[in-house]
Amino acid sequence: MEKPVKNEKLKNWIEEVRQLCAPDSVYVCDGSKKEYNTLMAQMVESGAAIKLKKRKNSFLFRSDPSDVARVEDRTYISTPEQAQAGPTNNWVAPDELKATMKDLYKGCMKGRTMYVIPFSMGPIDSPIAKIGIEITDSPYVVCNMHIMTRVGKKVLKKLGKKGEFIPCLHSIGAPLEPGQKDVSWPCAPIEKKYISHFTDENLIWSYGSGYGGNALLGKKCLALRIASAMAKREGWMAEHMLILRLTSPEGKQYHIAAAFPSACGKTNLAMLRPTIEGWKCECVGDDIAWMKIRPDGRLHAINPEAGFFGVAPGTSYDSNPMAMDTIKKNAIFTNCALTDKGDVWWEGMDGKPPRHAIDWKGRDWPNENKEVAAHANARFTVPASQCPVICEDWEKPEGVPIDIFVFGGRRAGLVPLVYEAYNFNHGVFMGASASSETTTANIGAVGNLRRDPFAMQPFCGYNMGDYFRHWLDMGDRLGDKAPRVFYVNWFRKTSDGRWLWPGFGENSRVLKWMCERVDGKAEAVQTPIGLLPKLGSLDLKGLKIDERDIHELLKIDMDAWKAEIPDIEKHFAQFGDRLPDELKKQLKALQERLG
Ligand code: GTP
Ligand code: SPV
Ligand code: MN
């Protein structure tokens, strides 16, 4: 058995998986630069990776065209009772699912190396951090985990002989017969993919996909689905939220945690460059927040990740300059286009498109069908520490105190630019009824409106009705120290498809209004849906925007809101008895206010 492993449970588990999956060899990762470089060199050699001439220590991968995003339809919360998983999760009983998956895992690593990745979600010394061990047959996953989490010997040391860890088993599901030539992105067909969570046992089994949240199991699987179930049991919170620090010209700090669905602006907001004078923004995290109540009675948040796995298309010096500077070196790019000069490119990058490139499928671009060069869910993987505006406290073990929660989504109509909850429970109602148009971050239809409560619909590891109750309970425990709650929509469009709000850096104006609300400085008007900025209280100095657009962005269309009520009722009804009465009360109150 591998020498560095002293933990009994881990030793046994490695041996069990080795026997089941039958790899050619087993390798325990040490997390070193040398290890990363060796694996990358092997992948360049095999043709799986392309070294970029124009970017230091950076590589491009092209996935199989069928394996380009998370697969919500193939994602399971497997609990003894279906009611524990609730109506928003796919469910199969643990025995049945394990039997199906064991058949798939049998011999699935033949011809490949089995990598054991010890990783920590959260700074290793943080009281909030958790240790996971991912076993995978994908060297691409190993390199990505190096960036996205804290990997290696330090983690095994912390684990010790008897420490607890979350086992995360992953296989791309593509064994190699003797002499069989490998492809550049091996994976299994969609009907064989399974992303399974045995939440009662803190266990993850993933099969068949090598992409993003399906395969980097520390992220959505551990840090959200498993962690949300643990957080419910243990009285803390695991949320799909960015964390940022905003500092006012007077030097006052505000910490904001914001939940938007996938591909709805978290990375962009987390690295925002304020366009308003004197305000400063720093990034603590761009996707996930783990939050606990500290002895001071306030909610403190850590970012459990160590890197960003960000959407590439649309990222430019114009929209997100801090991300552009972050990805200058040591980056992994997946499904971006390759320019003739040896750099990556995607739609929405600054300047003119290249005259010729190789698209994400490896073909000459542009092509006759006018297809995009980069896949819409093309991503970069990069260390958070390289972000020029990373907050100096981003790895503080106890986290940062949260002042403001923001919920939001992508809605072309109806939802105004910003509004504030009347109180915390009303804020929970806003989060619970949040809605958004679907994006390419999941394989499935794009642009369909769906309820995505707290941006957690694909990530809540237990019954969403119980999750709503947990939010209300946390509010009760926090009392007057609970964060203030706001709702935003950067994505309003005119009937001819133009963005009504410029977004990106200009979103700082909206955040400033929130901070001034917290301080009792900015004025709001009461409306049926919540508190909206009083005209003039939103700082629009220096912004070229048509007054009619502002009017439209802050308008409430009563009839359209009334039409939302039956849909929220239907959404809530699926939780039956598990829907907290408080949310029924909040819905009724909204209905009454709408008249
Ligand atoms: P995940 O990583 O999937 O969780 O996504 P995310 O929430 O971090 O979204 P991200 O910041 O990567 O943004 C996704 C897309 O929305 C990108 O194409 C952005 O350019 C676009 N976007 C982000 N912020 C804004 C905004 O304020 N206005 C507009 N119009 N588009 C935005
Ligand atoms: C998301 O879809 O919310 C992501 C990308 O952050 S993935 O890691 O693939 O889940
Ligand atoms: Mn995300």
Give, in order, the Cα–Cα distances in Å from 377 to each of 67, 74, 141, 189, 501. 11, 18, 17, 19, 23
Give 19 Cα–ligand 2 centroid separation in angstroms.
Answer: 31
Pick the ligand that lies closest to the CA of residue 311.
1
Q: List the residue whose alpha carbon is closest to atom 19 of ligand 1.
A: 314
Q: What is the rounded CA–CA span in Å between residue 305 and residue 309?
A: 10
* Listed residue (256, 206, 211) closest to 226, CA to CA: 206
Q: Does any ligand 2 atom lie closer than 6 A to the CB of residue 254? A: no
Give 377 Cα–ligand 2 centroid separation in angstroms.
Answer: 9
Domain 307-383, CATH homologous superfamily name and number: Phosphoenolpyruvate Carboxykinase, domain 2 (2.170.8.10)
pLDDT at 1: 45
How do the domains of the chain map onto residue ranges? 8-30+75-234, 239-303+394-594, 307-383
Give, in order, the Cα–Cα distances in Å from 397 to each of 259, 292, 400. 22, 12, 9
Neighbours of 228 (CB within 10 A): 24
Q: Residue 454 has what DSSP assignment?
A: G
Dihedral angle over CA of 477, 483, 487, 490, nearest 10 = -140
Give 136 Cα–ligand 1 centroid separation in angstroms.
Answer: 30
The pTM (predicted TM-score) of the whole model is 0.98
Q: List the residue whose alpha carbon is closest to atom 10 of ligand 2.
A: 213
Q: Does any ligand 2 atom lie closer than 6 A to the CB of residue 212? A: yes
Q: Are 360 and 335 in contact (CB under 8 A)?
A: yes
> Half-sphere exposure of residue 199, counting CA atoms within 13 Å on the CB side?
31
Residues contacting 240, CB < 8 A, separation 6+: 224, 259, 261, 266, 287, 288, 454, 455, 456, 459
Pick the ligand that lies closest to the CA of residue 268.
1
Q: List the residue whose alpha carbon is closest to atom 6 of ligand 2.
A: 262
Three state DSSP letters for 428-446 = HHHHHCCEEECCCCECCCC
Q: Does any ligand 2 atom lie closer than 6 A to the CB of residue 334? A: no
Q: Are 413 and 560 in contact (CB under 8 A)?
A: yes
Q: Which of 268, 288, 372, 411 has the most ligand 1 atoms within 8 A of CB, as the residue to mutate? A: 268
Dihedral angle over CA of 96, 465, 451, 511, nearest 10 = -130
The ligand 2 atom nearest the CA atom of 459: 3
H helix or E strand, kind and range, residue 466 = helix 464-478
Of the candidate CATH numbers 3.30.43.10, 3.40.449.10, 3.40.50.150, 3.60.150.10, the domain formed by 8-30+75-234 belongs to 3.40.449.10
Between the two ends of the chain, the Cα-to-Cα distance in Å is: 70
* Listed residue (519, 502, 516, 512) closest to 279, CA to CA: 512
3-state secondary structure at position 354: coil
> Half-sphere exposure of residue 283, counting CA atoms within 13 Å on the CB side?
29
Across-strand partners of 450? 436
Strands 113-121 and 150-151: antiparallel
Q: Are 236 and 292 in contact (CB under 8 A)?
A: yes
Q: Does any ligand 1 atom lie closer than 6 A to the CB of residue 287? A: yes
pLDDT digits (tens, 9 = 90+) for 417-476: 999 999 999 999 999 999 999 999 999 999 999 999 999 999 999 999 999 999 999 999
H helix or E strand, kind and range, residue 108 = none
Give 137 Cα–ligand 1 centroid separation in angstroms.
Answer: 31
pLDDT at 469: 98
Q: What is the rounded CA–CA span in Å between residue 135 and residue 14?
A: 8
Length reported for the chain: 595
The ligand 1 atom nearest the CA atom of 286: 8
Residue 566 tokens, joined: 């039956």
Q: Which of 219, 267, 347, 375 has the most ligand 1 atoms within 8 A of CB, as the residue to mutate? A: 267
Our answer to whether residue 281 is catalytic in this structure is no
Q: Which of 67, 144, 148, 287 has the most ligand 2 atoms within 8 A of CB, as the residue to mutate? A: 287
Strands 242-247 and 280-285: antiparallel
CATH architecture of 239-303+394-594: Alpha-Beta Complex (3.90)
Q: Does any ligand 2 atom lie closer than 6 A to the CB of residue 262? A: yes
Q: Which of 309, 335, 459 has the most ligand 2 atoms within 8 A of CB, as the residue to mutate? A: 309
Q: List the residue whose alpha carbon is closest to atom 17 of ligand 1.
A: 314
Strands 344-345 and 337-339: antiparallel
The ligand 1 atom nearest the CA atom of 240: 4
Strands 194-198 and 203-207: antiparallel
Residues of the chain with pLDDT under 50: 1
Q: List the residue whose alpha carbon is closest to atom 1 of ligand 2.
A: 262
The residue annotated as part of the active site, out of 168, 264, 283, 387, is 264
Pick the ligand that lies closest to the CA of residue 258.
1
Q: Are 134 and 168 in contact (CB under 8 A)?
A: yes
The ligand 2 atom nearest the CA atom of 240: 3
Q: Does any ligand 2 atom lie closer than 6 A to the CB of residue 219? A: yes
Q: Does any ligand 1 atom lie closer than 6 A to the CB of residue 310? A: yes
Give 150 Cα–ligand 2 centroid separation in angstroms.
Answer: 18
Pick the ligand that lies closest to the CA of residue 310.
1
The ligand 2 atom nearest the CA atom of 441: 2
Q: Are 12 and 35 in contact (CB under 8 A)?
A: no
Residues contacting 347, CB < 8 A, separation 6+: 313, 314, 353, 372, 373, 374
The ligand 2 atom nearest the CA atom of 220: 10
Pick the ligand that lies closest to the CA of residue 322.
1
Q: Does any ligand 1 atom lie closer than 6 A to the CB of residue 507? A: yes
Q: Does any ligand 2 atom lie closer than 6 A to the CB of residue 213? A: yes
Q: CA torsion sign, 508 to 509 to 512 to 517?
A: negative
Q: Residue 61 has what DSSP assignment?
A: E
Residues contacting 128, CB < 8 A, separation 6+: 122, 236, 290, 292, 302, 304, 397, 398, 399
Q: Residue 225 has what DSSP assignment?
A: I
